[in-house]
Chain A
Amino acid sequence: NAGVTQTPKFQVLKTGQSMTLQCAQDMNHEYMSWYRQDPGMGLRLIHYSVGAGITDQGEVPNGYNVSRSTTEDFPLRLLSAAPSQTSVYFCASSSSGYNSPLHFGNGTRLTVT
């Protein structure tokens, strides 16, 4: 049981490039989400999904796309990277139980130059 797995761990992009951050969980969790962590700002929700085929926007969705074709996977796509997207990205999942805790991945540190 690996929990929540994120790849890659580190990535450097040039402005305008696109890429996909991968997130997979093996706990059969319905709920998955993406956060970005910036100094002094805590974690801010980008997108989330309450089940396969269902996604919705969080607090800071601009510049990011998501899809949820399977229960296990929830990739985050950067369409055209900008320096403002330099951040640490965390994927998290939880079960459907009320107040179920979030299980986090190890994070992806992204730098956009």
Chain B
Amino acid sequence: AQRVTQPEKLLSVFKGAPVELKCNYSYSGSPELFWYVQYSRQRLQLLLRHISRESIKGFTADLNKGETSFHLKKPFAQEEDSAMYYCAANSGSARQLTFGSGTQLTVLP
């Protein structure tokens, strides 16, 4: 079965510290991976996607097919990064996303 796992429900780091949000997937074929973010009182929005190889707001994510992981990283966390982060995957040709359970990131001053 298709599955996206985010092992950490809560994650707290201090401002300026590196942060890594973990995501593992279990999918047949070659899924596309995404990170979505939901800031307080805002709607869920796309942060970045693997296919674009982009860095958004200082965040990057590397796809490791051997470990079936797509961890989200930022070298220096900022307080405004505090939010709920969801890892998601689709099965390539389909657009139905499977989401992980989310990680609530809190960046402490």
Contact = CB atoms under 8 A, between A and B. Distances in A.
Contacts of B99: 35, 42-44
A35 to B, nearest CB: 8
Given A40-B9, A48-B96, A99 B46 contact: no
Classify the secondary structure of A's interface with B. strand
Given A33-B96, A40-B9, A48-B96, A101 B34 contact: yes
- Which residue of B9, B32, B86, B95 has the most chain A CB atoms within 10 A of its CB atom? B95
Interface in B3-26: 4, 6, 9
Contacts of B96: 33, 45, 48, 58
A45 B98 contact: yes
A45 B101 contact: no
A100 B58 CA distance: 21
A42 B97 contact: no
Interface residues of B, number: 22
B77 to A, nearest CB: 22
A101 B6 CA distance: 20
A102 interface: yes
Interface of A: 31, 33, 35, 40-45, 48, 50, 58-59, 90, 92, 94, 99-102, 104-107
Interface of B: 4, 6, 9, 32, 34, 36, 43-46, 49, 51, 86, 90, 95-102
29 contacts: A33-B96, A35-B99, A40-B9, A42-B4, A42-B100, A42-B101, A42-B102, A43-B86, A43-B97, A44-B99, A45-B96, A45-B98, A50-B95, A58-B96, A59-B98, A90-B44, A92-B44, A99-B49, A99-B51, A99-B90, A101-B34, A101-B46, A101-B49, A102-B36, A102-B46, A104-B43, A104-B45, A106-B43, A107-B43
